[in-house]
Amino acid sequence: MSTAPSPDVPVMTPPIPLEEAQRRLLALADPMRREHVDMAGAIGRYLAEPLLARRTQPAGHLSAMDGYAVTDGDLAGPWTIVGESAAGHPFVGSMTRGEAVRISTGALLPCDAAGVIVQEDLARSDTALTLTGTGPSPQDRHVRRLGSDFVAGKEVLPAGTRIGPAQIALAVSAGHRHLPVFRAPQVAIIDSGDELSSDPENCATHQIPASNGAMLEAMVAGLAVQTRRIGPVGDTLDALLSAFDEAAHADVIVTSGGASVGDHDLIRPALEAWGAKLDFWRIAIKPGKPLLVATRPRSQRRQIIIGLPGNPVSALVTGYHFLLPLLRRLMGALDPAPMAVTTRLDGDLPATGARREFLRGTWDGECVRAVRVQDSGALGALAGSNVLIDRPANGSETPSGANVRIYILQNGGIA
């Protein structure tokens, strides 16, 4: 005869696959409200609507090289130099066949000019100019045509584009001083655990410094979100409920530790007592199995709570695959999930177990090698890694030289 579990014992459902868990999490995320910000405030944010050009670029035919502008079909010479067109100082006269205008890179072509011959292909004596090279082929090879970059009224960036240096340059060139973006969410990061010390310089033998909160805050820094760290919080329901009350303002609450099934893992019951509803718990990856996701209704928009494991590697792996995509989706990203690349493996890897594994590794741009220590608490090995090696569940041994998928942790991978 079966016995129903007591209210204090969580129902152990099978862990769900990574992509299914990501889909369920992102389905909870409605984009934040829109706002217009200046260029400095837009860095790291996502466009809330398509950006249309307010001007045409180039606004006229420009020279792409230093040289001499000549008229249509006049590529053999000789020529007489009749003036100069410099960037910001166009030639204002007219030209006829047999005449040339000295021109610099980025300068406006005279109205009668059709091509540019680079100065390396010419010989000049006073105002006389003769061809010594081959000349351009085709004739307009060194000309940036009107509207060749973008045209007024046309879309230059789609909604959901992340704003970085190149996008800033494009937006300004397209005639914009402000950009429509989604508001950055407020994120509360809660460290929990009786073993945690808030002072890394004064840590007892039975304690460890509370490093996960600092790591997670650094992880999301590139997204320009507003963060607040709370804790360390002790392993009691009252302490956790007080911490959740302190985080009631946040759009996203991230906890670290206390998400498993031990006697002191109280995140789940504390969330339920606080009025949050569990969406899913436990995912089929290693490290990071005890991740949980919950929501809590509010008057305007619901809060989303992500409970990350306490081991630092587990917290980073789950933060990478869940926290960052969630924040990107809230901020309007078109494709918030991290992107994997394929590379060659340096060194054999053993067969995998029932869960998909993310090994820490070092990648030099050509091949990847797993670091020696893969313990989920090993911070030295974690700090020495720049990628996660993606290994399928129940996979066979992978020989050196085989292709493997990796996720890049640096240079934009983290954020």
388 vs 405: CA distance, rounded Å: 9
Percent of the chain with pLDDT over 90: 81
Domain end among 264, 299, 330: 330
Determine the pLDDT at residue 42.
94
Determine the pLDDT at residue 264.
57
Same domain, 231 and 265: yes
**Residue 61 dihedral angles phi and psi, to the nearest 5°:** -70, 125
How confident is residue 2, by pLDDT bands cut at 50, 70 and 90?
A: very low
Asked whether residue 371 is domain-assigned, the answer is yes
* Burial environment of residue 97 by CB neighbours within 10 A (0 to 12, 13 to 18, 19 or more): exposed
Which of 340, 359, 343 is CA-nearest to residue 351? Answer: 359
Same domain, 171 and 41: yes
Pairing of strands 34-38, 99-103: unpaired
| pLDDT tens column, 175-188 | 999 999 999 999 99
Asked whether residue 312 is domain-assigned, the answer is yes
Which of 10, 32, 36, 20 is CA-nearest to residue 251? Answer: 32
Same domain, 22 and 74: no
Determine the pLDDT at residue 3.
39
Asked whether residue 8 is domain-assigned, the answer is no
Determine the pLDDT at residue 244.
97
Total structural domains in the chain?
Answer: 4
Asked whether residue 413 is domain-assigned, the answer is no
Determine the pLDDT at residue 179.
98
Same domain, 199 and 317: yes
Same domain, 249 and 326: yes
Determine the pLDDT at residue 267.
92
Determine the pLDDT at residue 1.
37
Same domain, 282 and 187: yes
Same domain, 269 and 212: yes
| pLDDT tens column, 98-149 | 999 999 999 999 999 999 999 999 999 999 999 998 889 898 999 999 999 9
Same domain, 311 and 363: no
**CATH (domain of 351):** 2.40.340.10
Determine the pLDDT at residue 410.
75
Range of the domain at 88: 62-144
**CATH (domain of 121):** 2.170.190.11
| pLDDT tens column, 386-403 | 999 999 999 999 999 999
How confident is residue 5, by pLDDT bands cut at 50, 70 and 90?
A: very low
What's the chain's average pLDDT?
Answer: 92
Domain end among 90, 117, 144: 144
Instruction: Give the number of residues written for the chain.
Output: 415
| Amino acid found at 253 | I
In degrees, rounded to 5, the angle at the alpha carbon of residue 318 between the alpha carbons of residues 408 and 358 is 55
Task: Report residue 209 as tokens.
Answer: 């410094």
Average confidence (pLDDT) over 230-255: 95
DSSP 349: B
Half-sphere exposure of 168 (CA within 13 A, CB side): 11
Task: Report residue 36 as tokens.
Answer: 């217009």
**CATH (domain of 177):** 3.90.105.10
Determine the pLDDT at residue 220.
93
Asked whether residue 45 is domain-assigned, the answer is yes
Contact present, 151 and 174 (Cβ < 8 Å) = no
Same domain, 48 and 116: no
Same domain, 326 and 348: no
Asked whether residue 97 is domain-assigned, the answer is yes
| pLDDT tens column, 290-307 | 999 999 998 888 999 999
**Does position 415 have pLDDT exceeding 90, yes or no?**
no
In degrees, rounded to 5, the angle at the alpha carbon of residue 140 between the alpha carbons of residues 135 and 146 is 155
Domain end among 301, 330, 359: 330
Same domain, 244 and 324: yes
**Does position 57 have pLDDT exceeding 70, yes or no?**
yes
**Does position 412 have pLDDT exceeding 80, yes or no?**
no
Determine the pLDDT at residue 145.
95
Asked whether residue 1 is domain-assigned, the answer is no
Same domain, 324 and 223: yes
**Does position 222 have pLDDT exceeding 70, yes or no?**
yes
How confident is residue 12, by pLDDT bands cut at 50, 70 and 90?
A: low
297 vs 275: CA distance, rounded Å: 8
Determine the pLDDT at residue 38.
97
**Does position 340 have pLDDT exceeding 80, yes or no?**
yes
Determine the pLDDT at residue 14.
86
Asked whether residue 317 is domain-assigned, the answer is yes
